[in-house]
Chains A and B, each alone.
Chain A
Amino acid sequence: MSQMILLFISSMLVSNVVLSQFLGICPFLGVSKKTETAAGMGAAVIFVITIAAAITWPINHFLLVPNEAEYLQTIVFILVIAGLVQFVEMVLKKMMPALYQSLGVFLPLITTNCAVLGVASNNASNYPDDFLMSIAYALGISFGFLIAIVLMASIRERIEHNDIPESFKGSPIVLITAGLMAIAFCGFSGLIKL
C-alpha cells in the first residue's frame, strides 16, 4: 500500500507528466487559457487515462503476454484508446448527461493526447504483473497533468494583462512560464526514492 502511495506521489510531482516528461504538451499549451476549461480538460484526462490503464493492463497481461505478442502493444493500445474514447463519450451522453455536459467537449481531444498512450506503454513495460501499481501510476500521472494545467491556466489569466515585451506576446511567454514551472517542479526531485 505504501508503495502505491509513494508511486502516486512520485509520478504526480517528481516526474510530472507535462513538465518533466513532455507528454501532452499540445493540450497543456492549447487548452490553458481559462481556469475552468483547464480544470475540465484535467478531469477528462484523469477519467480517460485511468480507464485506459484499467483496460490495457488485462489485455496486455492475459492476451498479449501469454501469446508472446508483446510486439503488438503499440497497435493494440492505440486502437483500444481510440475506441475507448468514443465509447466513453457515448456512454456518458446516454447515462450521465450532466457529466457529459461538463467533460463532453474535451473527450474527443484526448485521443491525440500522447500521455494516454505513454501511460499504457509505460505500464506494460514497468508493471506488467501488478494491476494496482499500474492504476496508481495512471492516477498519479493524470493528477499531475491536472495540477500542471490548472496552475498554468491561472498564471496565464494573471499575465494576460501584464506588460509583456512585444515579441514575447503569445506563445513565447507561455513557454517561458512553462519553463519556470518546470524549474519549480525540479525542486520535488529527491523527495521520494522508490
Chain B
Amino acid sequence: MNNCTERLYNGIIKENPTFVLMLGMCPTLATTTSAINGLSMGLTTTVVLAASNALISCLRNIIPNKVRIPGYIVVIASLVTIVQLLLKAYLPAVDSALGLYIPLIVVNCIILGRAESYASKNGVLPSLFDGIGMGLGFTFGLTCIGIVREILGSGSIFNFRFWPQNFDTIAIFVMAPGAFFVLACLTALQNKFKMPSATNVTGPQMACGGNCASCQGSSCAANKGLFEAERAAAKAEKARKAKEAAAAKKAAAQAAAAKAVTEKKED
C-alpha cells in the first residue's frame, strides 16, 4: 500500500503533469475558461488515464513489443469512446461544454506517456494508482489555471460571482489570448524561483531533445534520471563549496590567532 500512496504523491506533487512535466498543453489551454470546465476535463482525463493504465498493465505481457504503440492507442481510444458515451448519457452539460476536446483525449500525450513509461513495466495495482495520481495532478493543474482565469476574466469562482455586477472584468482572460498569458506567467514564475519544471532546464539536454513535437511520451523516465543526476551534482557542489568556505574560515581564524600570538610575543 505504501507504494500506492507514493504513486499518488508522485503524480500530484512531484511529477505534476501540468506544472512540472508540461504535458498535455492543448486541453490545458483550451478547456480552462472556467474552474468548473478545467475540473471536468481533468476528471474525465483521470478516469481514462486510470483505466488505460490498469488495462495496459494487465495486457503488458500479451501485446507484442513491436506493435505496442498501436495496441495502446486502440485501448485508449476505446476507453475514451466509453467515457464519451457515458458523459453524453449522464452529464450532457459537461459533454457540450468540452465538445471536441473529449475525443481528443486520445492524443493527449500524458496518457500514452504513462502507458509507455510506467504501465507497460509495472503491476496492475501500482499502475492504477499511478494513473489516478497523474490524473489528479492534471485535474489540480487545470482547476488552478481555470480558477485564475475565471477570477480575472469573469470575477467569479465555480460560477459564484463575488465581483459586483456593474464592475468590469478583464474579459480577455476567458478568451483565447488569456490562456497563453496565464501559462506564460506561470512558467515565468517557475523560472524566477527556479522550481523544477520542463521549461527551465539549464544543465543537461533532455533525452528527448526538448522537442515537444516529437514527444512520444517515452523518454520522460530518462529525462527524470538526467534531472536527478543534475540535482545530485548541484547538491554535491554546494556541499563542497560549504566545506571549502568552512576550511577557509578555519584557516582565517588560525591565521588571526597566530597573528595575535606573534603580536603578544612582540609586546
A and B co-occur in one complex: yes
Could you say which residues of chain B place their CB within 8 Å of the CB of A172?
Answer: 184-185, 187-188, 191, 199
Contact at B177–A25, with CB atoms within 8 Å?
no
Q: Which of B77-85, B129-137, B141-149, B254-262 contacts A (4 or more CB under 8 A)?
A: B77-85
Q: A147 at interface (Cβ–Cβ under 8 A)?
A: no
Q: Are A74 and B103 in contact (CB under 8 A)?
A: yes
Known: A30-B212, A182-B177. A23 touches B26 (CB 8 A): yes
Q: Which 8 A-B pairs have the closest CB atoms?
A: A179-B180, A175-B184, A22-B30, A30-B213, A167-B192, A182-B177, A27-B213, A172-B188
Inter-chain CA distance A117–B107, complex, in Å, is: 8
Instruction: Name 20 extra pairs, CB < 8 A, besides A24-B26, A31-B211, A176-B184.
Output: A22-B26, A22-B30, A23-B26, A29-B25, A30-B215, A75-B74, A78-B73, A78-B106, A79-B74, A108-B214, A112-B213, A112-B216, A113-B213, A114-B26, A121-B100, A121-B104, A168-B184, A170-B199, A176-B180, A179-B179
Is A102 on the interface with B (CB-CB < 8 A)? no
* Complex Cα spacing A54 to B86, Å: 30
Tell me the smallest distance from the CB of B99 to a CB of chain A, in Å. 9
A31 to B25, CA, bound (A): 15
With most chain B CB atoms within 10 A of its CB, the pick from A72, A114, A176, A182 is: A114
In the complex, B159 has a CB within 8 A of chain A: no
B25 touches A26 (CB 8 A): yes
B-binding residues in A (CB < 8 A): 19-27, 29-31, 41, 71-75, 78-79, 82, 108-109, 112-114, 117-118, 121-122, 166-176, 178-180, 182-183, 186
CB contacts (< 8 Å) of B26 on chain A: these are 22-26, 114
Q: Which of B210-249 contact A (CB under 8 A)?
A: 211-216
B189 adjacent to A167 (CB under 8 Å): yes
B242 smallest CB distance to A (angstroms): 26
How far does the alpha carbon of A166 sit from the alpha carbon of B213 in the complex, in Å? Answer: 25
